[in-house]
Amino acid sequence: MPIQPEAYTYSNTDQTSPEPAAGNAQNRSAAELAAGLLDDKAHVSPKYLYDTLGSKLFEALCLLPEYYPTRTEDAIVAANMASIVRAIGPEATLIDLGAGNCAKAERLFPTLRPRQYVPIDISREFLEQAAAQLQPRYPQMRITPLGLDFSHELALPDSVPAERRVFFYPGSSIGNFSPDQASAFLRRLRDACGADGAVVLGVDLIKDAAVLQAAYDDALGLTSAFNLNLLRNVNRLLGSDFNVADWMHEARFNERAQCMEMHLKARRSVIVRWPGAQRLFERHECIHTENSYKYTVPSITRLLSQAGFAHAQTWLDGRNWFAVVHARAA
């Protein structure tokens, strides 16, 4: 069955036409990128890791033996499908934050049978392809893909029912925020989900630093390619002239913060130019591109309860490496 055109809408509000919305989003991205690159310690948000190639590289690195989070989370869900689906309950509007290829949500469909599926992703083209492939497999299900950046606002269009909203946020993406930012983001989810809503989070737990280091700096170099590809995406969005060959991937474990960090380190002194500005990066100067904070079950439960969620239920793997957490609006 073809995707319903009214459901297949890419705009922030569903009220504006896609072109102005896309133009505004691009201007905002350019301003945000320029500000981060001009900071004393240059930084770029990890959301810019994801253009179409970035999404494909992420999909590939999930297959690496070193990258345990995806397969560990999948195994937790498979082993606890019945109780996770019972916790979510019937008639859910499943809103998948950073849906990527939609594979994790799809595994829930046969048992959960959500009323509507709303995959959201900043990587629009990749999401569009994933949703187009998904719809014929679930002709009865309304699928409403939204290509937007949820870090600024979470104004969901009228095509997303207000009842039984369940925010599905797997892959430990919550760890990309600092704990304070994560708390603020969860509060926004609490506001957006309403009194009968819930969240389902996939959360990476504190573990041996060597396991983390290998996961973020794999032997094949896929994480390195994924990180370096951010520069190509920045060139596209900002009009900058980064040369990928001038940079190298670096993964660091910040033990004090229990956070894996990704950086791009200049191989030599380089000047990077973009419309209206430029910056000299000295040899070995870095651009910070990702944080991935690790949690404990008590610390994530505390964050959820501070944000207005309660009745947290947690499912773990045998090594306590990863947690899937369901919590209801308090």
Q: Which residues bind ligand SAM (CB under 6 A)?
A: 47, 50, 55, 58, 70, 98-100, 104, 120-123, 149-151, 170-171, 173
C-alpha pair distances (Å), 163 with each of 55, 92, 198, 226, 284: 31, 8, 11, 37, 51
For ligand SAM, the closer CB: 148 or 214: 148
CA distance 51 to 176: 17
For ligand SAM, the closer CB: 104 or 294: 104
CB 325 within 8 A of CB 200: yes
Task: Give the number of C-alpha atoms closer than 13 A to the C-alpha of residue 241, restricted to the C-beta side.
Answer: 11
Closest distance to ligand SAM from the beta carbon of 70 (Å): 6
CB 167 within 8 A of CB 189: yes
**60: which 2 tokens?**
């590939």
Closest distance to ligand SAM from the beta carbon of 282 (Å): 29
For ligand SAM, the closer CB: 48 or 281: 48
CA distance 6 to 259: 41
Closest distance to ligand SAM from the beta carbon of 134 (Å): 14
Closest distance to ligand SAM from the beta carbon of 99 (Å): 6
CA distance 318 to 305: 25
Residue nearest to ligand SAM (CB): 98
For ligand SAM, the closer CB: 33 or 120: 120
Residue 134, class by beta-carbon neighbours within 10 Å (0-12 exposed, 13-18 middle, 19+ buried)? Answer: buried
For ligand SAM, the closer CB: 49 or 329: 49
Closest distance to ligand SAM from the beta carbon of 32 (Å): 11
CA distance 123 to 80: 30
For ligand SAM, the closer CB: 34 or 272: 34
Closest distance to ligand SAM from the beta carbon of 328 (Å): 21
